[in-house]
Amino acid sequence: MNRQRIVVLGSTGQLGTDLVEVLRLDDKGETVPVSHAACDCTNANEVGEMLRKLHPDVVINCAAYVRVDDCEDHAREAFAVNAIGALNVARACAAVEALCVYISTDYVFDGSKGSPYVESDPTCPINVYGASKVAGEHLVQQAAPHSLIVRTSSLFGKTGARGKGGNFVETIVAKAKAALPRWRILSHLCHRKLRLWRCAETVPPDDSESLPEASVLLQYWLSRMVRHREYFGPHVTRRQN
Ligand SMILES: NC(=O)c1ccc[n+]([C@@H]2O[C@H](COP(=O)([O-])OP(=O)(O)OC[C@H]3O[C@@H](n4cnc5c(N)ncnc54)[C@H](OP(=O)(O)O)[C@@H]3O)[C@@H](O)[C@H]2O)c1
């Protein structure tokens, strides 16, 4: 089988970083990371030229404007990257006959279905970010004869989403350390299956001494989920009772 050349756009982002690492473990192909600095997807000429030069078999487009709240006030920028940028990439893929992979999101739905979504469900975005990604999906399908759209929900990675200020673990720990409403953090994090509700209920919502307790719960939950214990300070010990 021929070795494939895979270009990863947005290669320094959360997904792009891990994708490049994982693809490089697989010796069936050559992975070419392309950062924002190397190619701006909103510039059609730049994208076209870059793909003509690299002549890839597959282009995985991880380039995006992902700050969901900011999109509300920066709709033009969000659509420029998530929709027009995606179109530029799709057209350039079509020109070199590469498969165009567009990473999309569960934000294309409004979440009201009440059961798991399937690909054929009608989209119904409730914010600018979701609308820009729906537009991106349509433009990719229209412009690239060979395309693949992957809708994913929240991503977690050590790199963290660019522009969101750290990865998920760092964000939650920073919130806990800043003593933001702890009860909300605990309610959000303590999952019934982990049997942490009882522990959570013992932590008064406004008890200023409860942060270490919150940290213990966070540590337990997060170590199960992402094994990033090194983010917690030395004051954290495992709960005894
Ligand atoms: N994060 C999530 O939880 C989540 C959930 C569902 C779906 N997704 C989707 O997954 C994909 C990857 O998300 P992520 O979390 O990896 O986001 P991210 O960390 O913000 O990465 C986005 C990347 O795109 C680059 N970029 C931004 N504008 C660009 C432009 N004009 N031209 C070229 N590159 C540009 C960024 O570079 P700079 O930082 O240097 O600008 C960054 O490397 C996106 O399509 C997103 O919509 C993400």
Residue closest to 58 by CA, chosen among 7, 133, 1: 7
For the CA of 85, the closest atom of ligand 1 is 31
Q: Which of 36, 108, 152 to mutate to test the pocket of ligand 1 (most atoms within 8 A of CB)?
A: 36
Pocket-forming residues, ligand 1, beta carbon under 6 Å:
10, 12-16, 36, 40-42, 62-66, 81, 85, 103, 105, 133, 152-155, 161-163
Q: What gap in Å lies between CA 45 and CA 36, rounded to an integer? A: 14
Determine which one of 65, 102, 107, 129 is catalytic.
129
| Ligand 1 center to 190 CA (angstroms) | 29
Instruction: Provide the percentage of residues in the chain whose pLDDT is more than 70.
Output: 71
- Planar angle of CA 100, 104, 108, nearest 5 degrees: 135
Active site residue 129: yes
Q: Do residues 148 and 102 lie in contact, with contact meaning Cβ atoms separated by under 8 Å?
A: yes
d(CA 110, CA 216): 34
**Structural domains of the chain, with CATH:** 4-156+188-214 (3.40.50.720)
Question: What pLDDT, on a 0 to 100 scale, did the predictor assign at position 92?
Answer: 98
Higher per-residue pLDDT: 154 or 84: 84
Whether the CB-CB separation of 7 and 54 falls below 8 Å is answered with: yes
* Ligand 1, atom nearest to 15 Cα: 16
pLDDT in tens, 141-187: 999 999 999 999 988 888 888 766 678 777 777 766 665 544 444 54
d(CA 205, CA 183): 5
At 205, list the tokens.
Answer: 């919502």
Alpha-carbon gap, residue 87 to 56, rounded angstroms: 17
Nearest CA to ligand 1 atom 11: 62
Using only the alpha carbons of the chain, give its radius of gyration. 21
5 SS3 class: strand
Q: What is the mean pLDDT of residues 72-86?
A: 98
Distance of CA 189 to the CA centre of its chain: 19
